[in-house]
Amino acid sequence: MVRMSRRTYNHRLEIVSHNVYRVNQLARLNRDLDSLYELLYAQWRTVTADDYEVFGGQFKMLLETMKGLYNSCRKAPKELGLKEETRKLGMNYSALSELNSDIVAFSVCGTKREELKNVLAKAGQVMKNM
């Protein structure tokens, strides 16, 4: 996550230099963000409060840098051709932000409530059986 956050921040710096930034850079970043989402989504139900304490700050930093890059890309000249990849970046931001909220609400805070923990365990079993 730290690496993705740095890359996102570096992209934000590069987009200011319109002659340097290319659409393929943003496309590659979007593919990597898709992969990160898939990895986290596959494991979010098993995240504990201790786990989140390790990577939660990094995750929030990634979301902040993604949001900054998204806003910079929206303001970029149309000649750069970033419209579609900017839309994908916004979708990636939304998906990762929602996943972060789910982790906090259900895995970190929710495990303190036994009833919710049991419901999540049952839902996990249903998902595995599908």
What is the residue-wise DSSP string for 59-85? HHHHHHHHHHHHHHHHHS-GGG--HHH
For residue range 2-19, what is the model confidence (pLDDT) as tens digits?
788 888 888 888 887 766
47: left (phi over 0), alpha (psi -120 to 50) or beta: beta
Q: What's the structural domain count of the chain? A: 1
Q: Which residues span the domain enclosing 39?
A: 2-129
Q: What whole-number distance in Å separates Cα of residue 121 and Cα of residue 54? A: 23
Grade residue 66 by pLDDT with cuts at 50, 70 and 90: very high
Instruction: Fill in the amino acid letter for 19.
Output: N
In tens, the pLDDT along 38-57 reads 999 999 888 888 889 999 99
CB atoms within 10 A of CB 11: 21
Residue 114's pLDDT band (cuts 50, 70, 90):
low
Supply the pLDDT for residue 10.
Answer: 84
pLDDT of 31:
96
